Structure 1
Amino acid sequence: MTSTQQAPVAASLRWRAVLLAAVAACAACGIVYELALLTLSASLDGGGIVATSLIVAGYIAALGAGALLVKPLLARAAITFITVEVLLGIVGGLSAAALYVTFAFIGGSLWVLALGTALIGGLVGAEVPLLMTLLQSGRVAEATDTGRTLANLTAADYLGALLGGLSWPFVLLPHLGMIRGAAATGIVNLVAAAVVSVFLLRRVVGVRQLVTALGALTAALGLLVTLLAGARGIETTSRQRLYTDPIIAYRHTAYQEIVVTRRGDDLRLYLDGGLQFATVDEYRYSESLVYPALGSGARSVLVLGGGDGLAARELLRQPGVQQIVQVELDPAVVELARTTMRGANGGSLDDPRVHVVIDDAMSWLRGPGRGPSMRSSPTCPTRTRPCWPACIRPSSTRWPPVHWPRRTDGGAGGQPVLDADRVLAHGVVGAGRGVRGDALPRLCAHVR
């Protein structure tokens, strides 16, 4: 093969590689948009199995609808692809902000959620036929093997979906939040489309069409950059509309949304929108939680959950308690308990008798020599609606069985187990028996 023959082939391979990279980027953006809607729906409405299933099923159905609707436009695949990416970047980038603002100011966001899911799914579904057409076009890539082209396209699409699925919970959501994370994803989407336009499609479309496409991409980028800059103000204003009292602390972690409000002497903690305690009356269940189960002579106590420190506060008031092991999944709850909520819990988590462990209760109890055998009902805190899956897993699984020395001081069932948020409807339940009634995954067990 001569050098003149090698040059077009090398250029074709470079074009194909860039286009497949764009496929991966667009697939990552598409899955992030949907994860953002799912996350925001869970934070605002509680999520629920039904809502999650409908969103996922609606998204998959919209993918198929988008692939069908784009068929008449495949003859103009290049300019249609740019148009689809501009629309997808705008709709996806604005989706989280639109859902949040609608819920905060109007109160009903189901129609926004359904519309966003349908539009995003339809636009993402249109991408694959368009990209397949571009990859098979001799003007972009000299692909003669349709099966190999489809394999490359599918692999890039699924790899991008994997990257998007990992980037949302581990990068975008913790560091940018829902609104800014979706806006940043929209910017990535538009940049990928711009790269395809400049480096690959300039020989396919006319100069006027290319300039128009780049102008639309630039305008969309400007819109999302503006949203990115003002997202904190939008989110703060909208969030405050959801709570009666002024918000004094907010965290959004990989596990939950944490909000602390204060009005006068009334400090309140909310997790994913559910009230956990209010200082004006929390003593009623904090005291009832601890005192009936301790018995006499309690020395070492294990608390699973209860990262607000209220249970530990009550335990420290007992003269015989020498050690408390506090296992809490979310370090942000512990950080707020030691700062913002310190007045409510009396600084209990900083007491030298309290050892705080940041770990999943199930994982920690699987360690050698830990935890009684117990179960609890899959019921979410302070909610009557169906559980979000994150609440079901830790509370519906049987705790690992461990043999503990039996108490002889009159404690209930040898090792009493109780709810760490409120008194169980059926009272204190012994270790090894199912926790009945309105039980939560937070449990406190006297272990020695």
Structure 2
Amino acid sequence: MNMVEKILARKSGQKSVAPGDVVLTDIDLMLMHDLSANFVMKVFENEMEGASIADASKLVFAFDHNFAPATREAAEALAAVRRFAAKHNVKNLFDSGCGSIHHVVMEAGLVTPGMIVIGCDSHSPIYGALGAFGTGVGNNSMAALGFTQNKGWFKVPETVKIHFHGTPMKAVQPRDISQFLVGKLGEDGAIYKALEYAGPYIESLDVNDRALFPLQAIDVGGKCGFVNPDEKTLRYVRELFANKPGVPQFELFQNDADGRYADIIDIDVSRIEPQVACPPTVGNVHPIDVAVGTPINVAEAGGSTGGRLSDIRTLARCFAHRRVHPGVRLQVVPASRDIYLAALKEGLFETLHVAGANIFPPSAGSNQAFNMGALAEDEVMISTQARNFPGRNGHPKARHFLASALTVAASALTGKITDPRTLEER
């Protein structure tokens, strides 16, 4: 069995499982951001009269979309979730300004290897980078089975192994390679599959960079994604608890040597150029050349796939003694309060502020344009965000390109989509 199969077997009380089996498992953690928490809360209260929450300690609410409510309705929605949390003794409520939900949960040490984590967010597979089984569920399933029973049911997925090897070329970042995979497989290329990200290239990455890969598993239809846990996984977990009272007990599940795969895909990362996902979908991925020269109005580093400390460092390096193009609004959105503090201490925000960037509170950034980043009809954005569907960030005729932090920085400097390899040559 592989890591995912072992976790599903253990949590369902079985010695082994195989692809196609349907299992009813214990759930270790249930995650909702402010939007989904409101929906799930309404299902629980309006459609399940008399029900009770089995274990409130397993619930997590994080307000990352409405980090500064702009309307009365938005403020009331957050207030309703706060009241629900207080009524049901939900202690893990991360309020406005906490950051993007998955970064917040990881940094808080709420996920350890061997867990089953479900979330009403499509990027919940990210926890496969920590040796956990993470996946998304619907609002009704969360309320009816998760809240009341601490249970979830799953069909054990077949596994596709993606073997990455080679050395990336100049200016190619992990986001380029994870995005390339989405384009290669296609948005329906791995429906209900478990995607294992493996090989020397993946092994060379730290956990934060590895996380980009399972985070985007949903973009190809995957049920989950994971990296076989190793010493880096253990070190990451131990470092999370370095200043906390004790490391919780956990079990590390690793692949058996004779594991079977539905398919094995080989990718030589040395052949991958900087990538860009063009409108109108995340799967419309191409080498940067197809978009070079497109004028932009907004550039952003933020969201569930951006706003990491490494992203902010990349921007600061590019804008040391340089200024943002006068026609561009550069938005920098730290993914968590810890990242915000680290960037503050390193002087990264001062560099970016002097260069003309705008620094926003830790949050999901312009994702769905609840608080910031809405685009007018003819405007163009390039960002490290995870989605670029029409209308998601404002007007349905606006255009949104997705790229690495380095490509975003190069484009904010020139005022048009720019190959980051040319920036580094300057």
Q: TM-score, normalised by structure 1?
A: 0.26
Higher helix share goes to which structure? 1
Max Rg structure = 1
Q: TM-score, normalised by structure 2?
A: 0.27
